[in-house]
Structure 1
Amino acid sequence: MLGTKLEFSTAYHTQKDVLAERMIQTMEDILRRHSTTGKTPALVEKGWNPLLPVDHFKKNLLTIHPTAKDFHEMWKRAYDKASKCIAEAREYNKQRWDKSHMQPDFKEGDQVLVSTLNFNNIKRPKKMRDSFVGPFNIIKLLGKNAVEVKLTEEFSRKHPVFPVSLVKPYFQSEEDKFPSRKKNPTPPKIVEVEESPGPVKEIIKVRNIRLNGKDQRQYFIRFKHQTADKDKWLAEDAIPHGNFHLRSSRASRRTENSHQ
């Protein structure tokens, strides 16, 4: 259509038409100089754009096949339907989320329940523990995302500041409808976990005792960097890294028995 002819030489230098190479270099320079104007070089320099090959075709001769037109209309309807469904799903999900995640309007002095999600020292299995404990009074509002509450004595070792995502309003039960329900649920007891004196040095001896109606095996433990008065009897599950030390102790006893 344009009267061009391709003449390849090698893969590293495919052009052989020197005139075309020079024209391309000139066009690159012209386009670079006129790229900031957003207009073609011909329009800037001459005031008109040259005709393209497609401009030589008469527009009234270009017709669209009926099948292509039907396909375009079908695709347009499917696209509009998909866009509408996506927008409706987005709005539905937003309403569902906002319904269960409304920002609570807390005030100082309000009673709230606190989630036990991060309460690791409650003496109760995780399945059986209460999801929320309280009620506690709000002492201070720390912005819109956190509150400070007045904890009871059982939870005095916990930090009193909680995010609003772990706090919910407390509504007192109506006595006439729920006469057997307690007004204030008793919070669970906090178990004081005794810190270990340090890493285990050796297991000195073993004993079997009866504790709470059950047989229990205990081990007399000596700790590293501690004196003998710090030795204590511990159950197997209370020994730090108990599996490792118990295997070592059993292996040493078997060695002693084999030498006797």
Structure 2
Amino acid sequence: MVFLKVSPMKGVMRFGKKGKLSPRFVGPFEILKRIGKVAYELALLPTLVGVHNVFHISMLRKYISNPSHVLNYEPLKIKDNLTCEEVLIQILDRKDQLLRTKTISLVKVIWKNHTVEEASWEREDEMKSNYLELFVNED
């Protein structure tokens, strides 16, 4: 059993592209067979039918099974073009960034399917335009 490395981007998640957020792993998936010296064929979920099932070992991480370890696996909703929309869950913090001639208001937000350590700083005006319901009870 192995985990598969995926690289999320802000707003959209695509396989094989690096983004602003740090890479993470999904799975575990079963190894079906070894292809050559550095590639493996995996048994992927039916929802990942559009993804090729052979991966280089650099894209895999060994899964060490532990009976006491319980995985909270929520399947990702992946579209036909292999993208997934990120959803804002909560605003954690605020700050103002001072530039030479202006001040930019920033909010630290946590995204669905991400941990608190993966929270990112975003512009407050952009977040208000896209997620107005989180800003309604303020002021």
TM-score (ref. length: structure 1): 0.25
| Larger RCO of the pair (alpha carbons < 8 Å, separation 6+) | 2
Task: Tell me which protein shows more strand as a share of its residues.
Answer: 2
TM-score (ref. length: structure 2): 0.45
